[in-house]
Structure 1
Amino acid sequence: MDLRAGLQLVRPINCAMIGFAVIVGAFVSKPPSTSGLQLALGFATGFLICAYSMAVNDVYDVEVDRVNMPERPIPSGRLTVGSATRVSIVVLIGGVAASVLSLNPAAVAIALVYAFLSWLYNARAKKAGLAGNLIVASSLAIPFLYGGVVAGGSVLGSLLVLMALTSFFAGVGREVVKAMADVEGDSERGVRSVARTRGLKAASLVGAAFFLGAVVTSWVPLFTGLANLYYTVGVVVPDVVFVYLAASVLRRADASNAYRVKKIALAGMTAGLVVFIGGGL
């Protein structure tokens, strides 16, 4: 198997962000004590199950990618569907095994739910449009909660929940906007995205609303006593990014701008991760 194609299949940068989100969740939950092994297993679980999701996505989306992204490993001929499926199985087993080694039943349950949602989205829910977007966004929120659980920290009623909610809103916004750039390919698979069923303008309104929703939830800690100085100062950066993206997609509701916005949104979400770490100090 082409190693480079295999790495492109699982999108390691995206998966590293998910693994990092688990670490952030563990850190912010302020556990009484935690070990480097717990953190390593948590990172591995997030990374590998994310890799499973990415691989499965390319298996199910091969016809869409022939139109939207012909350079991807499968449509370009560098990987077969069979080899991509085998990769997905291996990383899934690795991710679940890492959660089992944490010796935390709740963490194992969350990992299994995360894996199931990844399969459900790609196999069934993606065609449902907004419902599929909600599932993808939940996969961005779950790693924070998983981190808190695997570390044995405080989860409910903490900054962690608001972090997860903020990530969820930002994730929905990005997925809705991403579909604006994928309309042609999505028609090949019958994906009923907001952009396909309601038009690009309606999709831009929905995407912008969720981006702004992320900004609103990010400010809740400031008024509930959960934010420290680092969070208060730092949150301005990702918030400015998402306000800008909301304005941009409303101003230009076309595929090329949507592609640009989805890329910048990923940078904004990365900045948010750094801010969340500051919030846990």
Structure 2
Amino acid sequence: MTDFDAPTSLWTKVLTVEASLWMGRVHLLGQQTFILIGWYAAVAPDGTPDPLPLIGLCTFLFFGFVALQILNDVKDVEGDRITAPYLPLPSGLLSVRTAARLAVAYMGVGLLALLLTLPHLFWVVVILATTGAAAGILVAYSKLKGQGVLASAIITVAFALPLLWAWFVAGGGDPIVLVTLVFYTQVTYFSGNIIAALHDVDLDERAGNTTFPVRVGAPRAFRFMVGVAGVGWLLVPVIALLGPYGMWALPFIVPGLALLAVSYRRMLRTLQVPDRGRLRRIDDLGPMKVSDQFRNAAVLAVFAPWVALVAFAVIQAIAWSGHYLYMWRIVRGGLVRSLAQETGAGLPGPDR
């Protein structure tokens, strides 16, 4: 395992940082869509505020998300030895101390972005305070995983924060729009949390995680999750009526619903097959996640059509290319081999 303070080469430190960024799931940028929704919903249709705070918010969300994901992996390292032993901590690629210190450093970078871009220190304090609350919710979630849908409901509270930050920093707007968008966000992340739990359904019980899919079975949990996602789809036309460019949601609604319709039965069949493993489950449920991202882009298009198109294209390009890099560097051990070659110390073992 590597320690950032150890007398190692610069390239070894670069590889250590790379490992920590993969821990932060840097290729998954879907949460940025909600910053954009909150911002453009507040300024649409003719507001043109300074875009610098938006850039700062997106930067903070990126590094803050990385930091919280790392801390989540630190907290769940023992369970990950069973469900995802290839991750940097259980594989011994990083020490817990190094990972935690890098998480603090990433949060510091995000804080610097806020200080340089937000118009008032008040917003920096509010965002940091609510981020701390989100970290507390994350800890509570890990202790309540066995409570089924209650745990999923608890964790979704934290995911409304980026939308709220952007909305209020941009100046706010119609409270009916805000309430509708917050409810949409909760529905989206509620179903998304169940998707994430389905990835580990084969091994979670062995790791002591009695999640909702473990409690009720993967097929039943999937049907319930699709029903929740359906509520999200029903909210899209409601939001379209509240925004200035409602018709622009259609180019995203049609392919999103079509993808869900054509892949539903196949996804359900694979969930009826036991012991497929985490990586196959992630691939199996990929169409569901892309369908959700089409839906999120549809909501953004109601307020900023061209921003929705560009954001969707960029997020998808990074997600797909990042997925293959992640498989190569983390799952198949490319980063472990690079580090072993650089240090000449052989392949690292588990951090026990």
Superposition TM-score, scaled by structure 1 size = 0.83
Partner of 2:84: 69
Matched, 1:154 2:173: yes
- 8 Å CA contact 1:19–1:44 kept in 2: the answer is no
Across the aligned residues of Structure 1 and Structure 2, the Cα RMSD in angstroms comes to: 3.0
Alpha-carbon offset, residue 260 of structure 1 = 3.1
Partner of 2:31: 18
Partner of 2:97: 82
Matched, 1:191 2:209: yes
Alpha-carbon offset, residue 87 of structure 1 = 1.8
Partner of 2:42: 29
Partner of 2:161: 142
Matched, 1:131 2:188: no
Map 1:170-185 onto structure 2 (within 5 A). 170-185=188-203
Structure 2 CA distance for aligned equivalents of residues 246 and 164 of structure 1? 27
Q: Percent identity?
A: 19
Instruction: Count residues with an aligned counterpart.
Output: 279
Indicate which of 295, 303, 324 corresponds to 1:280.
Answer: 303
Partner of 2:75: 60
Alpha-carbon offset, residue 43 of structure 1 = 0.7
Structure 2 CA distance for aligned equivalents of residues 220 and 248 of structure 1? 30
Higher Rg:
2
Structure 1 CA distance for aligned equivalents of residues 19 and 243 of structure 2? 47
Structure 2 CA distance for aligned equivalents of residues 134 and 94 of structure 1? 30
Please list every run of 5 or more consecutive structure 2 residues that lacks an aligned counterpart in the other structure: 1-12, 305-352
Alpha-carbon offset, residue 50 of structure 1 = 1.1
Matched, 1:48 2:63: yes
Matched, 1:121 2:138: yes
Question: Structure 1 225/53 Cα, relative in aligned 2: closer, same or farther at 3 Å?
Answer: closer
* CA deviation string 1:78-99 (max 9, x = no partner): 1111111112222234434544
Partner of 1:208: 226
* CA deviation string 1:41-91 (max 9, x = no partner): 111221122112211121112122222222211112111111111122222
Indicate which of 292, 308, 326 corresponds to 1:269.
Answer: 292
Q: Which of structures 1 and 2 has the larger relative contact order (alpha carbons within 8 angstroms, sep 6+)?
A: 2
Superposition TM-score, scaled by structure 2 size = 0.68
- 8 Å CA contact 1:245–1:261 kept in 2: the answer is no
